[in-house]
A and B are shown apart, each in its own frame.
Chain A
Amino acid sequence: MLEKSLIFKYLYRSHTIIGLLVLFLFYMSTYFGTLTFFMPYLKVWESPSRHFAPQHNHAFNIDALLDEVLEKHHFLGDKPVEITLPSFRDPLLKISSEAQNSLYINPVTNEVLKVAKEENLISTFFNELHTGIVIPLVGMPLMGMMSVGILFLTFGGFWLYLQKRSHRTSSKASWRATWLSWHKITGLAIIPYALVFALTGAFLGLMLSSSQPFAWSMTHGTVSNMRTLVAPILFAQPKYKGGETTKQMLPFSTLQALAQEHYPQLSITNATLYHYGKEGAKVRFRGYDKENVAQSGRVNRPSITLDASSGAVVEHKTLDKTHGISRTLSTFYFLHFVPDETLGLRVVLALFGAILAISLASGYLLWAEKKLHQQGFLADLTNRVSIAILIGIIPSSALVPFLHWVLAYELFDKEIWIRGTFYAFWSFWLFYTVFERSIVMIISRMLKSAAWLLLLCVLFHGLKSGFFFWQSFHQKAWILFYMDLALILSSMVLFYMAKWVEKKELFYRYERKGVFDGY
């Protein structure tokens, strides 16, 4: 076994190297992951079809409409029809079926809508940036590997903290000591958060995409597709036989009330119609168990199935009848996606995400401080590239909602234009950080441009959608109002930070002549 001093040395060096390797990609994932905590609200804000004040508890009634809509849009047949009920995640009622375009119904007016995919452009793009799927083939496994790196850093960092506490006295006051204490305090504060999100991220990103060896080994080399082995056990879909003769169905609201009566703990989120309108038709109501939200997440929904014509209970699948692994997996997914939780928990998790980002950035500054007096351009160039990534991401991402509202809805390939502009804008900041000598100027301009873009996107949102924040307030469209307010507040914070940066002498420490002025 190694001596204690050598263990410390090895731990310290490995923490630095792995930290620098995973820092930038994981920072990107954390940044967009933190934004996607607010995805349900962002989806409403970015989609003109969702700009209305929903009724209390997202109430709806499609009794008079359902039969006609199903028939008119060719949903009646042997394939099950999925109805996603309006909720805080999406205030529209969605009707979908295999290999068919989804239909959306405004629950207030009962108007049938065809919502374009582009309406959720911002949330989809941010989510793809978070998962790394924007990098073809290797993106998701790469993000998974970064998550494993964060697990290593969390364990190693805590180990280092314990070692250092028993072996060293505190160093004298310096910026290095300041960054170290920031890195230490923020790092210790987010240990549970980092462990949960890094472990779930590693599972979702890396393990699910590289599960072949496990399946191959378990089946002694006969099957290497994990999903074909696991899906029939965990995600088995019920099969109901339907007759040919038509039959009168009970109204949907009556069936929903009956399901709720038989299973009061179930908070219904979805309903599946089997052979609707025919003899033997069934309706399966699914949702989460109010007493155990974590275990009844999206991969393990308890359900109750009713006969659609008589209302009799056909199947009652409570949480204790589900597979143990499904419950574990559901808890696991719940910890990462918090699917059924509303704003409170999402704000808390977003704050932890921000602390994680600060921890990563202070870790970088700790290393940068060490390299400050190194000769040559490498340390300076690394600092500049880091600024382009760590801070340049803010104006680049602020450009996306701005363009979403500025560009015409009808613009051909709008999504590609916006995505392309995002990458071009981010590249511009990379160029600018190398071109401009003053680091304070670079950071200040990045923050100011992000602040202006956020402010302008609120303005254009109002102009294009007709929902300025005072109108949202009067119409009690609270999600729109609070989203606009949050963007304005973020913009003000960014303006303040830009001013603060200009006054801080600290940033001049990292300033040298600049790449084009020579060293």
Chain B
Amino acid sequence: MRLWTYLCALKTTIGWVHGVVTLLGAYGLAYLSGMSLSLVFKGDAAMRLLPSMLLTPLLVCCFGFWLLFSKTLLDVIVKIALLAFINACIIAFF
């Protein structure tokens, strides 16, 4: 119950947990999205791999901002879980 309250508490400043989860989440999601992109792109291996590798550092920043601007820790976790699930589906079934 206390954990649930902690996860749902509205933040007025970024705490260490919010920061660390955002940082790890941004890197994890960017790599997963990069892996998905390498499947989605068309062409030879070079056309599929290198653009997704070039985009990954930018994706880290995008996901970083997206996760950062979350009202609660629960929002951060839900966003990570949702996108990780979508990417996992793409990697498994595409």
Q: Within the complex, what minimum Cβ distance (angstroms) separates B54 from chain A?
A: 6
Residues of B within 8 A of A328 (CB): 50
Give Cα A2–Cα B50 distance, bound, in whole angstroms: 35
Residues of B within 8 A of A152 (CB): 60-61, 64
On whether the beta carbons of B69 and A10 are closer than 8 Å, the reply is yes
On whether the beta carbons of B44 and A147 are closer than 8 Å, the reply is no
A481 at the interface (CB under 8 A from B): no
Give Cα A156–Cα B61 distance, bound, in whole angstroms: 9
On whether the beta carbons of A155 and B61 are closer than 8 Å, the reply is yes
Give Cα A207–Cα B54 distance, bound, in whole angstroms: 8
Give Cα A203–Cα B58 distance, bound, in whole angstroms: 10
On whether the beta carbons of A203 and B54 are closer than 8 Å, the reply is yes
Interface stretch of the complex, out of A54-62, A176-184, A209-217, A283-291: A209-217
B79 at the interface (CB under 8 A from A): no
Residues of A within 8 A of B53 (CB): 203, 207-208, 211, 214, 226
Q: Which of B19, B44, B51, B69 contacts A7 (CB 8 A)?
A: B69
Residues of A within 8 A of B68 (CB): 10-11, 14
Q: Which of B14, B35, B60 contacts A10 (CB 8 A)?
A: B14
A323 at the interface (CB under 8 A from B): yes
Minimal Cβ-Cβ distance residue in A for B71:
A2
Minimal Cβ-Cβ distance residue in B for A159:
B65
Residues of A within 8 A of B34 (CB): 213-214
On whether the beta carbons of A151 and B58 are closer than 8 Å, the reply is yes
A230 at the interface (CB under 8 A from B): yes
Residues of A within 8 A of B38 (CB): 214-215, 217-218
On whether the beta carbons of A17 and B49 are closer than 8 Å, the reply is no
A312 at the interface (CB under 8 A from B): no
Give Cα A210–Cα B68 distance, bound, in whole angstroms: 25
Q: Within the complex, what minimum Cβ distance (angstroms) separates A16 from chain B?
A: 10
Number of A-B contacts (CB under 8 A): 99
Minimal Cβ-Cβ distance residue in A for B31:
A213
On whether the beta carbons of A148 and B57 are closer than 8 Å, the reply is yes
With most chain B CB atoms within 10 A of its CB, the pick from A203, A214, A326 is: A214
Residues of B within 8 A of A229 (CB): 45-46, 49
On whether the beta carbons of B46 and A156 are closer than 8 Å, the reply is no
B12 at the interface (CB under 8 A from A): yes
Q: Within the complex, what minimum Cβ distance (angstroms) separates A475 from chain B?
A: 47
Contact with A along B28-46 (1 / 0, CB 8 A): 0001001110110000111
Give Cα A202–Cα B27 distance, bound, in whole angstroms: 13
On whether the beta carbons of B14 and A211 are closer than 8 Å, the reply is no
Residues of B within 8 A of A233 (CB): 44-46
On whether the beta carbons of B69 and A2 are closer than 8 Å, the reply is yes
Q: Which of A13, A148, A156, A323 contacts B60 (CB 8 A)?
A: A148
Minimal Cβ-Cβ distance residue in B for A202:
B57
Interface of B is mostly: helix
A407 at the interface (CB under 8 A from B): no
Give Cα A324–Cα B50 distance, bound, in whole angstroms: 11
Q: Which of A6, A156, A207, A226 contacts B57 (CB 8 A)?
A: A207
Q: Which of A6, A215, A332 contacts B49 (CB 8 A)?
A: A215
Minimal Cβ-Cβ distance residue in B for A147:
B57
A206 at the interface (CB under 8 A from B): yes
Considering only residues 55-94 of chain B, those with a C-beta below 8 Å from chain A are: 56-58, 60-61, 64-65, 68-71, 91
B47 at the interface (CB under 8 A from A): yes
Give Cα A437–Cα B50 distance, bound, in whole angstroms: 52
On whether the beta carbons of A217 and B39 are closer than 8 Å, the reply is yes
Considering only residues 1-30 of chain A, those with a C-beta below 8 Å from chain B are: 1-2, 6-7, 9-11, 13-14, 17
Q: Within the complex, what minimum Cβ distance (angstroms) separates A148 from chain B?
A: 5
Give Cα A152–Cα B64 distance, bound, in whole angstroms: 8
Minimal Cβ-Cβ distance residue in B for A207:
B53
A455 at the interface (CB under 8 A from B): no
B5 at the interface (CB under 8 A from A): no
Residues of B within 8 A of A234 (CB): 46
Q: Which of B36, B49, B91 contacts A226 (CB 8 A)?
A: B49
Residues of A within 8 A of B39 (CB): 217-218
Decide: A14 near B14, CB < 8 A? Known: A217-B36, A218-B38.
yes
Contact with B along A141-158 (1 / 0, CB 8 A): 000100110011001100
Q: Within the complex, what minimum Cβ distance (angstroms) separates A149 from chain B?
A: 9
A293 at the interface (CB under 8 A from B): no
A-B contact pairs, 30 of them (CB 8 A): A1-B69, A2-B69, A2-B70, A14-B19, A17-B14, A144-B57, A148-B60, A148-B61, A151-B60, A151-B61, A199-B58, A203-B54, A206-B57, A208-B53, A211-B49, A213-B31, A214-B34, A214-B53, A217-B35, A217-B39, A217-B91, A226-B49, A229-B45, A230-B46, A230-B50, A233-B44, A325-B51, A326-B46, A329-B50, A332-B54
3 tightest Cβ-Cβ pairs between the two chains A and B: A217-B35, A202-B57, A229-B45
Known A-B contacts: A156-B65, A208-B53. Give 13 more (CB < 8 A). Answer: A14-B64, A14-B68, A151-B61, A203-B57, A213-B35, A214-B34, A214-B49, A215-B38, A217-B39, A218-B39, A229-B45, A323-B46, A325-B46
